[in-house]
Chain A
Amino acid sequence: MKDKLMFQNAPHVRQSESVVTIMSGVLFALLPIYLMSLFYYGARSLVLGICGAFFCCAFSAIGSLLLREKPVPDLTPIITGLIIPLLMPADIPYYVVISACAVAIFVVKLPFGGTGSNLFNPAAVGFASVAICWPELVFRYPATMQAIEIFGESTAKIAQSPAYSLSFGAVPDYNVLDMLLGSAPGPMGATNILVVAACGIFLIVKKAVNWITPVSFLVPYALLCLAFPRISCSSFDALCFELFSGTIVFGAFFMLTEPVTSPKRDFGKLLAGISSAVVVFLFRYFGGFEIGFASALIVMNVFSPVFDAVCENILHAFRHKDSIIATFKTDRERKKLSGEQAVKIVESKEEKTVSETEPEEPVEIVEEIDLSEKEESGKEAVQ
């Protein structure tokens, strides 16, 4: 059984060409965002992107040499390396980007088995780890429309980002058009909402990304922000500030939709999107950092198999609803009747009562897997 079926995460097709073609769509969609940041911050943003992509590729090559595996040519390290600088300010020192890439590749990707096996989003973990280490560098944004020196200490003017203003309940001094066009300070790639959204729609049209995930994340998040505003201004403005500050839109299109770490079924993606919205909302409102998206994403990645299992149960029940309704009816009849009559009915409808246990099957399978782990850690721990 195990020889014929693949018990692995997506992407299932492992010929290098097809993985490359899927990922090249994402790569192509990232280019306009880099062009926009080139316009706002000068050439340093491009150099940061090239630096990230190069080091991610180099690190994954070194890792596969150390593990003595045949290196598989794929584009996922390049995408990781391109996404990481986009989450950071444009004047970030290079060593921060390089350490984020090192964490993403050496801690998240290689130990879990490379492309297709990473349980966490590498870019999110890389960003979160450096954000915890150097918060004063990662959350200090330069003002837009100024060329930043490519090398050396940055002397760029610092501005307060909308996400930071929101975190202590102040109204940002930018209007909605600024937020849409990206002239408000913020992470290098996540401020130009229009461009990011256009690239995301391009990905959806190209079918590199399923439309359910971003929509089911952004709509509940907007509703939550409308229901619990943090600042006192008109509700439309407040909604725009909440939605367009930080990395919400960028993350919804480029990080949440990563095929490996998201649930497999459409219904599971819907559930995951809604609950990610709730968790991101809580992390942003009560978290210590103004950008809680990356941490919330790591927590949600843990639960994506849970969503798969839950929606499997529900769909199973939906498919077999006739037999389940029949068993409910038998139950009701059984309660009405008593003694020998009830036993007779149960005997006559034996086939249908069998289906009563079926919807619970996936749960049992999960438990079996839990118990039958081969050589996992705790086996020897207490014995």
Chain B
Amino acid sequence: MTYVFQFFTMMLTALFVENIVFTRSIGTSWMFYLTKRPKELLRYVLLLMAVTTVSGVIGYPLRGMIYNSEFRHVLIPLLYIAVMAVVYVAAYFLIKKFLPDQFEHFGMTLGAAVFNCATLGSLLIPSSERLDLISTVGYGIGMSLGFGFAVIMVGYGLTRLEYCRVPKIFRGIPIALIYLGLLSLAFYGLVGHQLPT
């Protein structure tokens, strides 16, 4: 029972308090990409969840060996990228064999959907905070859901910018960034000054 409680606490923390986009600012370019394609969102969030969970479980026993190494800032990312590579190759062939329709949709972007900042970030943060296995899995799932939540929030905002008379020099990237910054500010109001860096 305590494990279930721990799992859900970690998940909600990762979903709202330490939202991957708004407070950690990871995965923004993918987020802007997905706000244009809302129909791909569910597929992407599911893939993100699967990759984080599987890689987190595989990487957990391995990462303990290199925690205290002098080069941990290099070795831990390298380890997780290697694990993600294994997961990616497995996913590539599994999807190609069992879900050929889905494979057509993914095509070249399957690689980009696996190797990006959102995936690596939701693996590296639990590892840098030295969470145990259950918290790691809960954190990864919460991060993926939080990513979907962020895409929906920013997507609605960018839709709403259509109705605004945005000055010419602010159109496009600038106003999207300012909008994202203001949302991030609202989430900091929830967190206060307690966020670990």
Contacts and interface: CB of A to CB of B under 8 A. Distances in A.
When A and B assemble into the complex, do they touch directly, with CB atoms less than 8 Å apart? Answer: yes
Interface of A: 7-9, 67, 69, 107-108, 110-114, 116-117, 119-120, 125, 128-129, 131-132, 135, 283, 286-289, 292, 294-296, 298-299, 302-303, 305-306, 366-367, 369-371, 373, 375-379, 381-382
A112 B175 contact: yes
B164 A302 contact: no
A368 to B, nearest CB: 10
Interface string B146-190: 000000010111111111111101111111111101110111111
A376 B181 CA distance: 16
B190 A108 contact: no
A292 B189 contact: yes
Nearest to B112: A382
B110 to A, nearest CB: 13
A288 B194 CA distance: 7
Nearest to B153: A302
B159 A366 contact: yes
A128 B181 CA distance: 12
Interface stretch (B28-36, B65-73, B92-100): B28-36
A374 to B, nearest CB: 8
Contact of A113 (B37, B157, B164, B191): B164
A378 B164 contact: no
Contacts of A8: 163-165
Contacts of B34: 378
B189 A111 contact: no
Nearest to A298: B186
A117 B157 CA distance: 12
B166 A375 contact: no
Contact of A369 (B159, B164, B169): B159
Contacts of A369: 159, 162
B38 A125 contact: no
B172 to A, nearest CB: 5
Given A113-B164, A294-B189, A125 B182 contact: yes
Interface residues of B, number: 49
Interface string B14-57: 00000000000000011111111110000000000000000000
Given A119-B160, A373-B36, A378 B29 contact: yes
A294 B193 CA distance: 16
Interface string B92-126: 00000000000000000000100000000000000
A367 B38 contact: yes
Contacts of A131: 189
Contacts of B166: 111-113, 117
Given A302-B153, A382-B29, A283 B172 contact: no
B196 interface: no
A9 B176 contact: no
17 contacts: A9-B164, A111-B178, A113-B167, A120-B182, A128-B186, A287-B190, A288-B191, A299-B183, A299-B186, A369-B162, A370-B155, A371-B37, A373-B159, A376-B32, A376-B161, A377-B32, A382-B33
Contacts of B32: 376-378, 381
B158 A119 contact: no
Given A112-B175, A376-B35, 18 more contacts: A8-B165, A69-B167, A112-B178, A113-B167, A116-B165, A119-B161, A135-B192, A135-B193, A295-B189, A295-B190, A298-B185, A299-B187, A302-B153, A302-B157, A370-B38, A373-B158, A376-B32, A376-B176
A7 B185 contact: no
A129 B165 CA distance: 24
A376 B182 contact: no
B190 A288 contact: yes
Given A298-B185, A373-B159, A287 B33 contact: no
B147 to A, nearest CB: 15
Given A69-B167, A112-B175, A117-B165, A305 B159 contact: yes
Contacts of A107: 178, 181-182
Contacts of A370: 35-36, 38, 155, 159
A298 B186 CA distance: 6
B186 A111 contact: no
Contacts of A110: 167
A303 B156 contact: yes
A297 B37 CA distance: 28
A378 B33 CA distance: 5
A373 B162 contact: yes
Nearest to A6: B163
Contacts of A113: 164-167
Contacts of B186: 128, 295-296, 298-299
Contact of B193 (A9, A288, A298): A288
A67 B153 contact: no
Contact of A305 (B160, B179, B187): B160
Given A288-B193, A292-B189, A376 B165 contact: no
B36 A378 contact: yes
Contacts of A302: 153, 156-157, 183
B92 to A, nearest CB: 19
- Residue from B37, B38, B192 with most neighbouring chain A CB atoms (10 Å): B192
Contacts of A378: 29, 31-36, 176
